[in-house]
Amino acid sequence: MRCCHPPGCGLRQSARWRWPFPEDIETLPDLLSKVAKVHERRLHVLRFLAGEAGLVEPSWIFAQTGANNGDLKMLSEAGLITLRQAEVMRDPLKMPFTSPKKPPN
């Protein structure tokens, strides 16, 4: 499917910690996963987001915590984080342009 937007635009996703008190992370009543390793990874995501002031891009969360998109989706569905998508429009005239070293024949 072709995009109908100009080049350089797209959707950017971001996440944010939803609870008001980061100390509540350690007292979550339910397991975040039956697999201990996955549960700990998701707790790590919550701890990381609790220390961030605003919205964080998923790629940064993945790099810092080792999480994946499934982890963010589960945490969002559980109401622990908020996932947002925003359309990003870039000016194609401000994109870097490199001229060829040799003119075409």
**What is the per-residue pLDDT across 27-74, written as a single tens digit (0 to 9) for each?**
666 678 888 899 899 999 998 988 888 888 889 999 999 999 999 999
- Per the CB < 8 A criterion, the answer to whether 78 and 18 are in contact is no
Amino acid, single-letter form, for residue 29: P
So what's the pLDDT on residue 32? 82
**Which neighbouring-strand residues pair with 84?**
14
Q: What confidence tier does 100 reach under pLDDT thresholds 50, 70, 90?
A: low
Residue predicted with more confidence, 11 or 28 = 28
Token pair, residue 34, equals: 């039956």
- Picking from 105, 100, 81, the residue whose alpha carbon sits closest to that of residue 28 is 81
Whole-model pTM: value is 0.66
